[in-house]
Structure 1
Amino acid sequence: MLEPSEVKCAGKVADWLAEGLQPLLPEKVEANLEKLAVSGHSKGGKTAFCVALGYSKTKVKFSALVGIDPVAGISKCCETNPHILKGVPGSLNLNMPVAVIGSGLGPKKSNCCTPPCAPDGMNHKEFFKECKPPCANFVVARYGHMDMLDDETAGVIGKLLSKCACKNGSGPRDLMRRTIGGLVVAFLRAQLNDHWKDFDAILGNPNLAPTQLDNMVYIPSS
């Protein structure tokens, strides 16, 4: 089966980094592609998993994966291609550290006419369950699937997707963005640079985050 276009395009972008990134960087800044992470949100989160799993053959290798509220489809019988979720714990053959960040309101409907944006069985819980250690799971409890976007999104479609399609939190979106950003940086510093202070601090005291974190789990490699 041919990979979906977004998976193929993501692989091409990754390969572009090998030659295209360095000329665009400031003087005396050198890209280190030996520590390369792949990440995405929503369907892009699943795309990141697909790229990391090798569905798009790339010249570069990835050292870490971060899924931000990844979604595999609208229901278990309607997973988007390729079908990577098997319903089996530890079935994803990822030889790298993985962090999966979910939204507490993602599985809830915004209204009676639209399905949840991150339905149970297709969301961060399933992705995390099927990961192998080392892997981490965090849930930003009071926010929804689209709350990591900008406060204002351009165009009518942008506003509808951002404000109406998904169940949103009532707090400032800035708190969601800062929380996700902090989690990603702390996780990558720990896994790629062996700087564990911030990551361990968050695991030990989730109240350090700008907004509420629930169900934090970190499973180290054995």
Structure 2
Amino acid sequence: MSFTALVFLAHCLLLLHRCMGSEAGGVFDHGRHGVSLARVDEARAPSRCGGGTTTSPTGGGGSTPPPKPLLITAPRDAGEYPVLVFLHGYLVVNSFYSQLFQHVASHGYIVVAPQLYTISGADTTDEINAAAAIVGWLAGGGLSSVLPPGVRADVTQVSISGHSRGGKVAFALALGHAKLAVPVAALVAVDPVDGMGVGQQTPPAILTGRAHSLRVSAPAMVIGTGLGELPRGPLLPPCAPRGVSHAAFYGELDVGAAGAACHLVAGEYGHTDMMDDETPGARGMLTRMICRSGGARAPMRRFVGGATVAFLNKWVGGDGAAMDGIRARPEEAPVALSVVEFLDDKAIAQTE
């Protein structure tokens, strides 16, 4: 073989290695599973959802209803899948994240998204307790009757995620503010917010103002936005105020307790840019009017979905290829990342 041919072959192998080892790229695309969406009411059997996805399975009539209405997104293919509980942001609807849920579910996860409330005050205690009750319902087998035929949920542990105020509630669960029926496998907080500002936190306050004070029980990923800390206009407050948003949550994580943590920030995107392209109604309109936006939501949604999948793959599925790919080649993400931070045993050893 000639030298030129060898160089060409080496180049091809390098490209192949990058593509395969950067499963980082793969998680940002829709996965191999078709997915179904099902609504489960507090007191009724599952009902069919409109739209382009498949509808809910039948057979839930004899099951115990969940403590809160649910939107469940699951792979259609038979098999057993880990569960991610996703907690919505302040005063929004769980279905505003349906495209994000479909992305995650297409990679082999069941996403359970409760509607924690319609109207709520400042105190998040009821939301924390309601989310813990949902985990108890899952652990008790309530999910089995509302999944597609042949699909089973692994409820020996659950991962917890949440956006905005829901990210704060997710942290509260991982910190033990409510007793959970099963362990937390992983924590993913999407632009979490703890109130209107430093000294204006909503009860119970999660942030303490002290570095490494949050002893969460599982590996944690904090996803942030650069525009969330900026007001949309002179008369509007920022949706994710500096000092009580993603950087503060990450800075206060006790990595020794969590085992590992990472912090990824999409600097050119806003607080609600991971939601669906269309968010109907007055609440949906407010998601665009109040919070500053980076424009099209699809890139940010792909990033949040892919990063979540990569993190769960590593800490739930035991496959770190995609997460390692993001760490090594953050430029392959569908958005420009202004912050890429990782803390784990290896990183801690390097700083000591």
Structure 2 distance, partners of 1:95, 1:58, is 12
Structure 2 distance, partners of 1:94, 1:151, is 33
* Aligned length in residues: 219
Contact 2:124 2:169 in 1 (8 A): no
Counterpart for residue 20 of structure 1 = 142
1:156 aligns with 2:282: yes
Counterpart for residue 243 of structure 2 = 121
Shift of the alpha carbon at 1:29?
Answer: 2.7
Q: TM-score, normalised by structure 1?
A: 0.94
Alignment of 1:2-17 (within 5 A): 4-17=125-138
Task: Extract unaligned runs of 5+ from structure 2.
Answer: 1-122
3-state SS of paired residue (1:45): helix
Amino acid at match of 1:43: R
User: Residues 62-88 of structure 1: CA distance to partner in whole angstroms, max 9, x if unpaired?
Assistant: 111110000001111110111121111
Amino acid at match of 2:293: N
Kindly, what percent of the aligned residue pairs are identical? 39
3-state SS of paired residue (1:34): strand
Q: Which has the larger radius of gyration?
A: 2
Counterpart for residue 110 of structure 1 = 232
Structure 1 distance, partners of 2:219, 2:156, is 14
Structure 2 distance, partners of 1:216, 1:193, is 22
Amino acid at match of 2:288: K
Give the root-mean-square deviation of aligned CA atoms: 1.5
Question: After the TM superposition, which parts of structure 1 deviate over 4 Å for at least 4 consecutive aligned residues?
Answer: none
Structure 2 distance, partners of 1:188, 1:132, is 19
User: Residues 68-124 of structure 1: CA distance to partner in whole angstroms, max 9, x if unpaired?
Assistant: 000001111110111121111110111210000001101001001111111110000
- Flag the 1:27–1:152 CA change in 2: closer, same or farther, 3 A: closer
Structure 2 distance, partners of 1:35, 1:187, is 15
Contact 2:165 2:193 in 1 (8 A): yes
Larger strand proportion of the pair: 2
Structure 2 distance, partners of 1:178, 1:91, is 31
Structure 1 distance, partners of 2:146, 2:314, is 27
Task: Extract unaligned runs of 5+ from structure 1.
Answer: none
Q: TM-score, normalised by structure 2?
A: 0.60
Structure 2 distance, partners of 1:129, 1:191, is 21
Structure 1 distance, partners of 2:297, 2:342, is 25
